[in-house]
Amino acid sequence: MKQRGLTLLEVLISLGLVAIALIAIVTVFLTGLRSTRVKEQTAVATDLCRQVLERSKGLGGLPTSTMIFDGSVPTAAVGGFPPGPYPGTQVDGQQYVLRVDVKPKAGEPDVYIVHVSARWSVHRVDAESLMYAI
Amino acid sequence: MRRHTRGIALITTLLLLTIMTMMLSSSIIRTFGESILGRGNSSMTSAQYAAESGLSLAMSRLAVNHAFASNITGTMSNGATYLVDFGPGASVNNLGADTAQSGPRGPGTVAARSAYLVVYGRHGERVRRIEAVVKEGLPRLPLRSAILASGNITLVGDVQIGGVTSLEDATPVSADLVSNSASNQAGQIQWIASGGSANIDGSIRTVSTSGSSIQATGANVSQGLKPGSNSQEMPHPDILGRISSHSSATALVTTPGLTVVSSGDHYHSGNLNYNGDLELDQSNLYVNGSVNVTGSIKGTGSLFVAGNTTLHGDAAMQAAAGQQVSLLSHGSVSLQGYDGSEYMASLDPAATTVLQTSLSLLQTGLASGDPSPYFNNGIYDTVPADIRASVTSLRSALAAEPASPRKDFLNKRLDLLSNSSNSGMFDWPLGGDSGPGVKPQDAVLDAFLADGKSHGGLFDAFNDRLCQRPASEKVAIMNRMNQMLGGLNYKSPGSAVFVGQVYTNGFVYAENDMNILGSLQAMDDSSQLPSMPDGTTTVRPGELYLKKRTSVTFVQSQSEAVGSTVGTMALKMIIQE
């Protein structure tokens, strides 16, 4: 009898410990999965920003005054600027919206600040570069 | 046996827990590692853009000051920093030297007339280093006037001089005629009426102080005659040097009828006599000889000519990015139209009048800024039909005429308006469709907004879809449309159009319905000789001679941007480490 009681207690303790461990593992896995998904989306968004910046370098010129191109409107491109993937695109079922701000850098002839942000869900990624455009 | 199995459940559980803890740890470590990797990549990208930002600033400062050789530091909005390093063993500015110099890559590695830049970008722990070679780009023409000459300026017959802010913005700006000559010669700038009229929306200026140096009696000059003015800065681009330095560029290959010069630099040794249309596709063409093109020159790019340049017909060039120049000719420039308007009027006066009136009506409507009164059976509906009818009538009259370059030119001009393929800008191939949603007409308007060129059914699209566009686009579309019609010149619908800036060390001669959108500069450098482009009139280097319905519309946006007084910088090579 004594031996049986101890085994039952062991089993209960064991079940409790296993349950706690399982909950912790599942939680960590789910969090990890979500985190991985967001990281993948961040990489995609960063690449979209990069594409806009790189393609802007190849254009004939940039807007010479301060302008905001909001892909959620979307504001129409002027003279090919901003280039694609502006105003946005869908990758792996996720919609990304781009916004491009351009303004001359004060005191620096022909230098423009080009700021690109990609938004999706509640997340956002930014990239910025100064460009010498003439 | 039972004694031996006592506690086995707890032991097994503890073993399981150990395994699960290891799995948990590994999962946490992996997630954490991915986070670090992701942040590292993001930081590296930020560092890269910071370094490129530093390079952009260095190029800007070198463009303004060729002797610039100081460190540049700065911080981006995300905290990334950049450093253009001019310290020992780093960047070398060799722009002012004719011989190579030692650089970070070893002795003699910084070529003459170039700068070797070493730039660092840093974000967090990540550092990006780039090395770049930059050289002087194309010159800028510090232009403040429609016409600038070092010698005399002569206008004959009907002449129109005006200015607009840009090809997209028809807001008028002053368009001056300026001579830097201080010769005090009587009639240094003169208008010879010859039965025509002259309208100059600006001033006539000369450095000469004598009142008789400007003779323009009867001309309408909005801002008056101004002898004794200050001279205007005239650039001295080394045209021959630039042509010579591009002798190893891709050789130009022409094809009958139409030659598209692909992007990049192209070189032609000897004279270029071409009977056809030359299209520059973001390209620069260097000709070590004279150029004679019978047809059109269009597209985007610049033409450098060592000898004389003669263009017959349309030339719609636009300077490429960073290039404030369309045509740089060491020798004289002759722009010759086909006298098409007079010819057209003689063939079919009634249709010509309808065409002129219709184009004028459209320009009035577009210039009003409010399109609404002109829709719904207003002029935007009815006038295109009148234009199509007059084009059909004119084409019939033209068909009976003997073959000639002028006939070809006018047929092309009429085709632009309306043609048998139903693809002219006033043809109506898209039908009426003004409802909501995206329509084929929207694609036509999108293309027009992107390139500002004529497209088949353009006016159909304009008529049907303008009201569906955001307010800012409406204005842009109307301005561009108005500018395009201005280029067609409703008073002389048979005129040829040249779009761009012209700079020459010889003279500029234009005649026969030549409509110039841009500016003209003639700078005598004593390398050229006088000539008689029309066989009777002697024109000297540094002079401008415009006659027989020539118009010049100064396009302010094509002139110098604020800032650089030296020129531009061009990136030749970049090494990413």
Chain B residues lying within 8 Å of A123, measured CB to CB: none
- Ranking B428-437, B453-462, B558-567 by mean pLDDT, the lowest is B558-567
Return the pLDDT at B566: 44
Q: Nearest Cβ partner of A46 from B21, B45, B450?
A: B45
Q: Do A18 and B17 touch (CB under 8 A)?
A: yes
Q: Locate B102 and state its tokens.
A: 């030692």
Per-residue pLDDT at B317: 59
Q: Which residue has the higher pLDDT, B101 or B567?
A: B101
Instruction: Measure A121 CA to nearest chain B CA, in Å.
Output: 19
**Residues B516 and B553: beta-carbon distance below 8 Å:** yes
A·B CB contacts under 8 A: 134
Query: Which of chain A's residues have a Cβ under 8 Å away from the Cβ of B470?
Result: 76
Per-range mean pLDDT, top range of A78-82, B423-427, B438-442? B423-427
Residues of chain B neighbouring A62 (CB-CB closer than 8 A)? none
Give the nearest chain A residue to B24 (CA atoms): A25
pLDDT tens digits, B331-355: 999 888 777 777 888 889 999 899 8
- pLDDT category of residue B289 using cuts at 50, 70 and 90: very high
| pLDDT interval class at B127 (50, 70, 90) | very high
Give contacts of B7 with chain A, Cβ < 8 Å: 6, 10
In chain B, where the domains are located: 10-140+570-576, 141-337+496-560, 342-488
Chain A positions in Cβ-Cβ contact with residue B137 (cut-off 8 Å): 134
Q: What is the pLDDT of residue B560?
A: 46
- Would you kindly state where each structural domain of chain A is located, as residue ranges? 2-132
Please, which pLDDT band fits residue B577 given cuts at 50, 70 and 90? low
Inter-chain touch A108–B60, beta carbons under 8 Å: yes
- Residue B84 pLDDT more than 70? yes
pLDDT given at position B562 = 34
Question: For tokens 């009027």, what's the residue?
Answer: B345
Instruction: Return the higher-pLDDT residue of B35 and A71.
Output: A71
* Predicted pLDDT of residue B117: 94
The predicted model gives B75-97 an average pLDDT of 91
B379-399 helix and B349-367 helix, angle to the nearest 10 degrees: 150
Q: For residues A126 and B42, give the distance between their C-alpha atoms in angstroms, rounded to a whole number.
A: 10
Give the dihedral of Cα atoms B7, B9, B12, B13; nearest 10 deg. Answer: -120
- The predicted pLDDT at position B279 comes to 83
The first and second tokens of residue B394, run together, are 């004119």
What ipTM does the predicted assembly reach?
0.83
Q: Do A59 and B321 touch (CB under 8 A)?
A: yes
User: Tell me, what's the pLDDT at B63?
Assistant: 79
Q: What sign does the CA torsion over B92, B93, B95, B96 have?
A: negative
Work out the pLDDT band at B564, boundaries 50, 70, 90: very low
Q: Tell me whether residues B472 and A76 touch, CB distance under 8 A.
A: yes
Q: State the average pLDDT over residues B524-546.
A: 90
pLDDT value for B487? 63
B34, A25: Cβ pair inside 8 Å?
no
Q: How far is A115 from chain B (nearest CA, A)?
A: 9
pLDDT value of residue B173 = 84
CA angle B380, B385, B388 (to 5 degrees): 125
Of A18, A29, A126, the CB nearest to B16: A18
- Does this model's pTM top 0.95? My answer is no
Helices (H), B348-470: 349-367, 379-399, 405-417, 440-451, 458-465
> Cβ contacts (< 8 Å) between A79 and chain B: which residues?
450
Question: Cβ contact (<8 Å) for B450 and A80?
Answer: yes
Mutate to test the interface with B, among A110, A116, A117 (most CBs of B within 10 A): A110
Please report residues of A whose CB lies closer than 8 A to that of B17: 17-18, 21
Rounded to an integer, the average pLDDT of B540-548 is 91
Angstroms from B530 CA to nearest CA on chain A: 36
| pLDDT > 70 in chain B, percent | 86
B38: closest chain A residue by CA: A39
Which residue in A17, A24, A39 is closest to B24 by CB distance? A24
Percent of all residues in chain B with a pLDDT value above 90, rounded to a whole number: 29
Q: B229 is written with which tokens? A: 């003015």
CA-to-CA separations, A67 to A115, B11, B16, in angstroms, rounded: 11, 69, 61
Contacts of B245 (CB under 8 A, 6+ apart): none
pLDDT at B183: 92
The Cα of A88 is separated from the nearest Cα of chain B by a number of Å equal to 17
- Of A56-70, A82-96, B272-286, B486-500, the range with the highest mean pLDDT is A82-96
Mean local confidence (pLDDT), B509-520: 82
Chain B residue with Cα closest to A15: B13
A39/B17 Cβ within 8 A: no
B470/A110 Cβ within 8 A = no
Dump the DSSP string for B169-187: ---B----EEE------TT
Picking from B427-431, B468-472, B555-559, which range would have the lowest pLDDT averaged per residue? B555-559
DSSP for chain A reads -HHHHHHHHHHHHHHHHHHHHHHHHHHHHHHHHHHHHHHHHHHHHHHHHHHHHHHHHTSS---SS-EEEETTTTPPPBTTBSPTTTTEEEETTEEEEEEEEEEEPTTSTTEEEEEEEEEETTEEEEEEEEEE--
The distance of A3 to chain B (nearest Cα, Å) reads 8
* Phi, psi of B408, rounded to the nearest 5 degrees: -60, -45
pLDDT tens track for B18-32 = 888 888 788 788 777
Series of mean pLDDT values for 10-residue runs along chain A (134 residues)? 64 84 85 85 92 81 84 85 91 94 87 94 92 80
pLDDT at B208: 93
Contact assignment for B31 to A36 by CB distance below 8 Å: yes
| B546 CA: distance to closest CA in chain A (Å) | 32
Average pLDDT, chain B: 82
Mean pLDDT of B107-114: 86
Task: Give the Cα separation of B70 and B89 in Å (integer).
Answer: 14
Q: Is the pLDDT of residue B62 over 70?
A: yes
How far is Cα B372 from Cα B383, in angstroms, rounded to an integer? 15
Q: Nearest Cβ partner of A39 from B34, B449, B569?
A: B34
- Residue with the larger pLDDT of the pair B465 and A71: A71
Q: Which residue of B has its CA nearest to A36?
A: B31
pLDDT tens digits, one per residue of B187-226: 999 999 988 889 999 999 999 999 899 999 999 999 999 9
Cα nearest neighbour of A82 on chain B: B450
